[in-house]
Structure 1
């Protein structure tokens, strides 16, 4: 169970949402308390994640989780079937970005007077990427 939690795409997505929330709250001068709270949660969550990975790697030396890896842990490419699922999901994320990037650029252009617009767009792009990838992998794996 610990391996599925540590390798879940929701872990990375939640860290990403916390970083975006921290940046959003730090830009508004009235939300200093929320920014500090968000930063504290982010630090605690990251520290807990590192500790859990160290514990898992000590208990399972043959099935280690890389702490700093270039390949995301969502890519489970053990055999050709899983490589195909990863291919389909990455293809759908690429298609998502062909529509989402021009839309985000337009939103940033039209709302250029608002300092939060670029951060909200970056947050929306990242969250959308996780959602598209995750839904694609679940949909394809449920058909198999």
Structure 2
């Protein structure tokens, strides 16, 4: 059960996203090529580790498999109506988050278009914010139910 919680946790895609943004930021700066390669290596290692754990889980639990590259993210819990409602509420909050975050980030990218790091950091902040809003919403709702 712990492996299922880990694989369905939004922390895995969020950490992979953070590693990807970090790699992009470090690869832009010419002085940190070694650190960028290390970050890329950690990203590839974590991706393969996630895929290995996913394959292990799917082999042990063929009745409740998690698709690694499906259109529906693995953190969605849609087994019954209650879990669908939790997903609905979390996605609704993410949509609300984007309704005010996207114009702000667009303005920041427009104002600082001469700087290459600002748009990448802004996109990274959008992605991290999305995962945080989704995770906190599901955590708050599930905590209330227990």
- Shared fold, TM over 0.5: yes
CA distance in 2, matches of 1:83, 1:56: 22
CA distance in 2, matches of 1:89, 1:63: 22
Q: Which residue of 2 aligns with 1:45?
A: 46
Q: Does 1:7 align with 2:8?
A: yes
Q: Which residue of 1 aligns with 2:72?
A: 71
RMSD value, Cα: 1.0
Deviations 1:24-83 (A, max 9, x none): 000011110110000000111111111111122222222222122110112111121111
Moved more, 122-131 or 45-54: 45-54
TM-score, structure 1 as length reference: 0.95
CA distance in 2, matches of 1:73, 1:23: 25
- Show the 5 A alignment for 1:11-26: 11-26=12-27
Give the secondary-structure state (helix, strand or coil) at the position aligned to 1:45: helix
CA distance in 2, matches of 1:139, 1:38: 32
TM-score, structure 2 as length reference: 0.94
Q: Report how many residues are paired.
A: 144
Whether the aligned pair in 1 keeps the contact of 2:8 and 2:76 (CA below 8 Å) is no
Q: Which residue of 1 aligns with 2:111?
A: 110
Unpaired stretches in structure 2, ≥5 consecutive residues = none
